[in-house]
Amino acid sequence: MRRALLSVFVACACAGAPCAAQEAGDAPAGNWFTTHVRVSGEASASYSTKAPEDEGWFNYSDYETSTVRAVRLSLVGEVMLSPRVAVLTEIRTLQFDAPEAYALYVRLRPWLSQDLDVHLGRIPPTFGAFPRRLYVTDNPLIGLPLGYQYLTSTRADAVPATTDELARMRGRGWLVTYSVGNTTPQAGLPIANALRWDTGAQVRWQKGPVTTYAAVTQGTLGDPRLTDDNGGAQGAARVVYAPHPVVTIGGSVARGPYLARSLAPDLPGTPLRSYHQRAYGIDAEISRDRWIVRGEVIWNRWDQPAFDQDTSRDLDAQASYVEGRYRLIPGLYVAARAEHLGFSRVTTSTGTDVTWDAPVRRLEVGAGWTVWRHVLLKGVWQRNRRDGGRVRASDLGAVQVVTWF
């Protein structure tokens, strides 16, 4: 498998060369491939001082890998079938597993005079700012923001029978077990999954400094899906306002049923599609000279079936981060990100008032150095603290090398 994957990357790298030549004016006129096909690729490898089980699963993802200890290879392609129609895809593999179509969609431009696109297929994210950073080089650090990576104790195919059962899973998002639904231990859901794209339709329209997105998808923020699993759909929208080239302000909303169809027979009388994930987000970015500062806040709610009280309980979560990067000299920068992930409170049978999951705080600082033109080396130190779980504190270091063509 590794040899085959390497062969594909080498072949695509060679295929990408004529595209660059065409831009330079050296390719023969009339070559359809060089004028209609674009291919790029990226490879990254990261290694941390602690394995996932030793660092408390703070950086674990639903791919069952640590985001700070992983090998990722990706190929991005665009085929312009006409001025109005294009096909875009990204093929990605983690840890040399079987390649997966991370993105695969058709882009339609109904009116060439308008900056309006329609996307159909496995489409780009609509909600939030961070998921739109497609490449590893777009992240100045190595870890991902908690709101887009950290696994909570919520699952789509299993729910707790009591509040006590819910509270016992605090800080256990990497392996959650409940008695209702699928009883097999599995990972929980993040608020928003930045490692998977959803399937559906999206419209993007830009008019002056305002860009608007709207989408209907099969899955939800925390559980993007290739196929439907509950007969419902998520609606999402985003508005971005850029009053100045160095200032961007955005707002996002999303709402959709998240519970799997397999849970329907076990629910307490309320229809399956009555249980939603709702999210609201705001984000901002400002840059000047050598520095750039970004921030984002997400408010999220899962409606969860309840068997020991009313028909449902509200599980709220709030994720926020502030991130900055400063370029010391050309090719060398320093960066930092401070984050918090908090949860609403529930009351157990003993009258104890606790958060339904364990709040998390993270600080990550690091630097990046462009060793060669297409090689970036990163190094970070990460501090994690959690108010629950088997491991409540974890400090680790990590390095990452990224190359692209």
- Reported as a single tens digit per residue, the pLDDT across 12-60 is 444 443 333 333 334 344 588 888 999 999 999 999 999 988 888 999 9
Q: Is the dihedral of CA 56, 59, 61, 66 positive or negative?
A: negative
Q: Which H or E run includes 231?
A: none
pLDDT given at position 201: 98
pLDDT given at position 7: 45
Least confident stretch, 1-5, 177-181, 187-191, 304-308: 1-5
* E strands present in 178-305: 180-181, 199-207, 210-217, 234-244, 247-257, 276-288, 291-305
pLDDT given at position 24: 32
- Reported as a single tens digit per residue, the pLDDT across 237-286 is 999 999 999 999 999 999 999 999 999 998 887 888 899 999 999 999 99
Cβ(319)–Cβ(145) below 8 Å? yes
For 211, phi then psi, to 5°, come to -120, 130
Kindly state the average pLDDT of the residues 53-72: 91
Average pLDDT over the chain reads 91
User: What is the value of pTM for the model shown?
Assistant: 0.90
Report the C-alpha gap between 197 and 224 in whole angstroms. Answer: 6
Cβ(402)–Cβ(375) below 8 Å? yes
Q: What is the number of H-type helices and E-type strands within the chain?
A: 3, 20
> Burial, 206: exposed, middle or buried (Cβ in 10 Å; 0-12, 13-18, 19+)?
middle
Report the C-alpha gap between 37 and 180 in whole angstroms. Answer: 50
| Nearest residue to 43 (alpha-carbon basis) of 12, 1, 86, 64 | 12
